[in-house]
Amino acid sequence: MFANKVSLADASEKLSQHHKEFLLLFQNGTLEVELYKPHLVDKQTPHDRDEVYIIATGEATFELEGKTTDVRTGDFLFVPAYAAHKFTTLSEDFSTWVLFFGPVVIEE
């Protein structure tokens, strides 16, 4: 086993065994890596750290601060701390890697 590797297949299997829409899979310093699979509705709220999404499976529409774009497997998205954002029009197989990093940002 390679300790610094998380496969999509393993992450999806672990997530399917929980009742949450996301699961923390790796942590090192300020980096946290999750797999997120919302059930047709994205209920998340803005976060206090910068965030990256890498779409793992499926497709959706992504809204960031009132602007929208279509996303699909392989796309990369950056979301600054406290920015209003969500996924809409999710395909049934939609899932995304979520990477939180850096310090907690104090909103002024």
Whether 40 and 28 have beta carbons less than 8 Å apart is answered as no
> Taking CA 100 as the corner, what is the angle to CA 98 and CA 105, rounded to the nearest 5 degrees?
145
Which one-letter DSSP state was computed for residue 74? T
Is pTM beyond 0.95 here?
A: no
Q: Which residue spans within the chain are E strands per DSSP? A: 22-28, 31-36, 50-57, 59-64, 67-72, 76-79, 85-88, 95-101
* Tens-place pLDDT, residues 65-107: 999 999 999 999 999 999 999 999 999 999 999 999 999 888 7
